[in-house]
Structure 1
């Protein structure tokens, strides 16, 4: 069996994830396609991930693709998580991952309504959705609070997280809006405030045309292997949230080839993607929490020293802001309240590496400007550096 060692995997990551300076690109869409999908749970992550890979980072260019051209769209999809993908990739993500998530979200909400309030069922939800869409269409865009004020049904109270420490009573608006967004009938518009804000306005949208789920899974697997291969069956299953049967069928459908990995596991690559690649120039990167290069595999041993994990991940497995050197995670970074960018190296590196990391930190500070970044999922090292 052909072998692809860890060093070659790191070389591929630097070039294919557009992290080596000579691999950087001009557009946000090109960045999204290179990594297949950008984590969008944290509003700032999309901008930070994109600008780290742009030759000329600019917040305005990212906002244009999200809100003007709408050439990047957010979908509740893989692992029931919010991602931003290009309109070329969106149909495959929608059919292979988002549709099952949307159906599950709707079933959960209907079951919750029946348990909570007598008489609330699918018909009540359908009418509430109709009123919400009509109001949103008339306004053009609105926040969830504005929709709740205008549509009385959205103020119906339900209990969330019943029986847990987080139990609370709130209006049903958040859940209804989530289902409408999962169905693709509304989308996030510009936030209130800066690009780091999560207080989004909403606007109407058209769902993606239906397509064959198995073909969509094959398309997504092909794109993912080109960006993340070699990777294991378990990596693809985890990243997509598919079952093992769907994962194996997708790999078979695209004709993925087996390779041996340094950890003894069997990896997969796209057909013919076996050749060794020359190392790019030495590179450093400061990537945000939930960046795809840190969240692309369930087994990150080839680029993450095991002793660094506790400092850089939260308890739920979310990665925080990281410092990279030639394809390996070597530390973490944070922004203090006064705007100062601080980082700490967890690996011993030479002077050349330190100089390039410092230059990359300066590049990040320059385009971030007056914005303040606090990750949604905070990690031990990030908290310590930000204090």
Structure 2
């Protein structure tokens, strides 16, 4: 590829983030499905993240609006994909997410489960057992209503059994094999997390076959074609970014990333000495947006969107990210992270600045915290990955 055509500085990157991620005034999304499209997908490891990520980008969005998109319109679908992470994808993205991300995860999960059940002495032929277990689940779900894991386990002896982990360790115990079968089937695109028996803050999935829930199976395609599509969508949402960013976000290989970049009409740009990429029809400079602030939830797609984060995270990695790279809730101002937030024991939002900001920014953050408090209505959200700073001060 040719040398970078121009420099894209931090100010422009932050302006692109604000517009493309529906955070700037005048750029917000109309629906939760539109918000997901603008970000390729929404993180769903924490069930509440999906709702709060959408709420930050869709003025006036109610919990019922997102429930409708997930469970009635089914324009959004929960799906295990890149980096073995649960996301919510726009329905039309499913074939590409399956080919470009989920299939790789499925292969690893299948091999790992077979190895572990054989090592545990549960089955001498783990592959045969897993095939039989998968077929039994699909048969049980065929043509029926979405079903909980508990009901499937009780009806299907092939899902019963457990393995030891961490033997001799204080954190050791037993892990059931049944949920792992559903993990494999979901990553293979054969079943989906359909309805939810819990509230918006918890995950108590009922399972359905993909065909029954979406009205069709996921059409197969080559991995590289799925990766090409995902890379283009990422560049349009998160670009400019580096090969390293793309490799990390996809959970893929540099070889596949480079194949995708070669197949797309992209241009190189200079990211302060690093080589970045933009789609060729999106390479013109963009101007700064109006001032904006946001309180984004843990694992928000914007916070987690790049591997190289210094241009928006600055020196705040240690107080906001755990050692595994999971981000807690963050305060944003004009495309950069300026602090974190959490809820106290009464469910009230508490903000904590990590750097000095202007008084109007402080006031805007306070106003947004009050709006989030009102939206939460006193309900406390329990996070799987709270930020280190919240543990320190909460």
> Do they superpose with TM above 0.5?
yes
Residue 209 of structure 1 corresponds to 219
The equivalent position to 2:289 in structure 1, one of 262, 277, 280, is 280
Paired position in structure 2 for 1:129: 134
Question: What SS does the corresponding residue of 2:152 show, helix, strand or coil?
Answer: helix
1:63-82 map, 5 Å = 63-82=67-86
> Would you say the 8 A contact 1:222–1:270 is kept in 2?
yes
Tell me how far 1:148 sits from its aligned partner.
1.5
Deviation at 1:109, TM superposition (A): 1.4
C-alpha displacement at 1:72, in angstroms?
A: 1.0
Aligned length: 384
1:266 corresponds in structure 2 to 275
What's the secondary structure of 1:209's corresponding residue?
A: coil
Question: Greater CA deviation, 364-373 or 217-226?
Answer: 364-373
Shift of 1:327: 0.4
Decide which of 290, 302, 313 is 1:304's aligned counterpart.
313
Q: Distance in 2 between matches of 1:165 and 1:182?
A: 31
What CA deviation, in whole Å up to 9, does each residue of 1:294-337 have, x standing for no partner?
1111111111112x111101111111000000001000001123
Separation in 1, partners of 2:191, 2:157: 19
- For 2:173 and 2:344, how far apart are their aligned partners in 1? 32
Return 5+ residue gaps in structure 1 as ranges.
none
CA deviations 1:57-99 (Å, max 9, x no partner) are 2111111111112211122211121111101222211111111
Q: Which residue of 2 aligns with 1:180?
A: 185
* Counterpart in the other structure of 2:242: 232
Cα shift at 1:346: 0.9
Residue 251 of structure 2 is matched in structure 1 by 241
Does structure 2 retain, via aligned residues, the 8 Å contact 1:196–1:371? no
How large is the RMSD of aligned CA atoms in angstroms? 1.7
Q: Does 1:61 align with 2:34?
A: no
CA contact (8 A) 1:314 1:380 kept: yes
Whole-Å separation in 2 of the counterparts to 1:383 and 1:64? 34
Q: How many Å apart are 1:204 and its aligned residue?
A: 2.3
Q: Which residue of 2 aligns with 1:290?
A: 299
Distance in 2, matches of 1:19 and 1:255, equals 27
Tell me the TM-score normalised to structure 1 length. 0.94
Residue 254 and residue 369 in structure 1: after superposition, are their counterparts in 2 closer, same or farther (change >3 A)? same
Say yes or no: does 1:101 pair with 2:105.
yes
Per the alignment, in what secondary structure is the counterpart of residue 293 of structure 1?
A: coil
2:315 aligned with 1:315: no
Instruction: Report the 3-state secondary structure (helix = DSSP H, G, I; strand = E; otherwise coil) of the residue aligned with 2:295.
Output: strand
Residue 358 of structure 2 corresponds to residue 354 of structure 1: no
1:142-186 Cα offsets, whole Å, 9 max, x none, are 322222222122112223456766432233111111112112222
SS at match of 1:22: coil
The equivalent residue for 2:214 is none
